[in-house]
Amino acid sequence: MGTVVSKQGVLGKKHIRMLEKIRESLEKLNEKMEIIIELQKHGGREIQPLPETPLDVMTLLSMPDHLRKTAMTVCRLGRATAEEVAQQTHRARAVESAYLNQLVIMGYLKKERKGRKAYFYVEKENQG
Partner 1 sequence: MGKVIAVHSYKGGTGKTILSINLAAALVKHGKKVCLMDLDFRAPSLSTLLKVEKADYWLNDYLNGICGIDKVLIDLTERIRDGGKLFVGLANPTTEAIRDISAKDRKWEMRALGRLLSLRNTLLNDKGFDYLVFDTSPGLQYSSINAIVSADLVIVASTLDKSDVEGTKRMLKELYDLFEKKTRIVTNKVLYGENIKSVKDVRSQMEELYGVPILGVIPCFCDVSRAKGTLIFVEDKPDHPFTKIMDEIATELEKMKV
Q: Is 50 an interacting residue with respect to partner 1 (CB under 8 A)? A: no
Q: Is 60 an interacting residue with respect to partner 1 (CB under 8 A)? A: yes
**C-beta of residue 54 within 8 angstroms of C-beta of residue 126:** yes
Return the DSSP state at 56.
Answer: -
Alpha-carbon distance 88 to 46, whole Å?
29
Q: Is 95 an interacting residue with respect to partner 1 (CB under 8 A)? A: no
Choose, by CB under 8 A, the member of 7, 17, 76, 117 that binds partner 1. Answer: 76
Residues that bind partner 1 (CB under 8 A): 54-61, 65, 68-69, 72, 75-76, 78, 122, 126-128
